[in-house]
Amino acid sequence: MSEPMRDLPNGFQVGELFCFPQGESGREFAYVPGGPRVELQADGRPAIALLSAPPVNVLSTQTLWSAEPAELDAAVREIQARSRIADARVRMANLPDATAILTVLRPDGTRQSFGPQPTSGMEPHRAAFSEHLSAAEWDAAQAALAGRSGVLTIVYAATMIVHESLAAQIDGDLAQDLKALAPKPVEKKKPLFGLGQKPEPTVVPAPDLAACAARVEEALAAGRLTLTTTATPNASAALRSRIETALRAGVTRYLFDQLSAIGEDAQYVSSLAVSKAENGVEDVHYSIERSLDVGAWLAEHGGSAVSTRATQ
């Protein structure tokens, strides 16, 4: 079953990467990348260009959303230090529906957005744009390519799906509780003055399911039963509650059925071992959004974009 969108799972930040544990092994980790970046061409220049053949103006670019090798190395070292696990494994989180939107801020303060553009669907989540611009949008894009921040942005959005699981088990002995619940027959009524009246038959009360549930809780509290749970790191409280409730109900039904089958002789039982398990899974969805200020990124990385204005 699926759980609704929640905040990010329990994890930690390593630079721009958000890291969190996955699975039950303790060795598996995933990360959400920081902001996207402009892809670099073979010659090292950013894959972004402005092309103009009046009256047509075109902005083209290719972007990536993934961890840089140095970022990933730093994340692995941090995870190893935190978990004390030398062979910890790290991979990108599952972001199958990632899309990208390119937005231009015009000089008059209005915005023009292009997209959402589908990405490659897997790491490095590449997205490509080739968009026709108005004259005002062309001017804004030129300013961004010259290093001005706040005028050209690319936003990646995705739903992160994390698979969680939980298993619970109850073990112990319910003999004491079975004896306590053993039905007591109602005493026979004796004939009055022996006038030949037949005694009424013995009545054995039926087992009470609510009483069985109360005895199971008492046995858990007293230690006659032990509840153990194993779960992936971000299994929800709702999943835990659902599985443990179902498990308690199963043990309660077992005690009830034994009382029904054994009846009055339950008071003589010396051992009633129980071992029952329940498990469940869920897909938890997280809404993820990361952005790139193209002008600020170009200024920081010293990139020079290609800007060509062709004349007729």
Average pLDDT, the chain: 88
Full DSSP string of 78-129:
HHHHHH--TT-EEEE---TT-EEEEEEE-TTS-EEEEEEEE--SSTT--EEE
The set of residues, in sequence order, having a beta carbon less than 8 Å from that of 213 and lying 6+ positions away, is 248, 249, 252
Query: In terms of DSSP bridges, do strands 2-6 and 48-53 run parallel, antiparallel, or are they unpaired?
Result: unpaired
For range 253-259, the mean pLDDT? 96
For range 28-50, the mean pLDDT? 92
In tens, the pLDDT along 52-92 reads 888 899 999 999 999 999 999 999 999 998 888 888 889 99
pLDDT value, residue 174:
97
Q: How confident is the model at residue 201 (pLDDT cuts 50, 70, 90)?
A: low
pLDDT value, residue 83:
83
- Reply yes or no on whether the pLDDT at 308 is more than 70: no
H helices, E strands: number in the chain: 6, 15
pLDDT value, residue 59:
95
pLDDT value, residue 57:
93
pLDDT value, residue 194:
55
In tens, the pLDDT along 142-165 reads 999 999 999 999 999 999 989 999
Which range (16-25, 130-139, 191-200) has the least confidence? Answer: 191-200
Q: Which of 187, 166, 188 lies closest to 279, judged by CA? A: 166
pLDDT value, residue 310:
53
187-223 in b/e burial notation, b at 16+ Cβ within 10 A?
Answer: eeeeeeeeeeeeeeeeeeeebeeebbbebbeebbeee
Q: How confident is the model at residue 6 (pLDDT cuts 50, 70, 90)?
A: low
Which residue ranges make up each domain of the chain? 2-163+284-309, 164-283
Q: Which of 104, 148, 157 lies closest to 127, judged by CA? A: 157
The set of residues, in sequence order, having a beta carbon less than 8 Å from that of 130 and lying 6+ positions away, is 58, 59, 60
CA–CA gap between residue 65 and residue 291 (Å, rounded): 10
- Choose from 73-82, 99-108, 258-267 the range with maximum mean pLDDT: 99-108
Q: How confident is the model at residue 190 (pLDDT cuts 50, 70, 90)?
A: low
User: What are the contacts of 23-26 at 24+ separation with CB within 8 A?
Assistant: 23/232, 24/165, 24/230, 24/231, 24/232, 26/83, 26/85
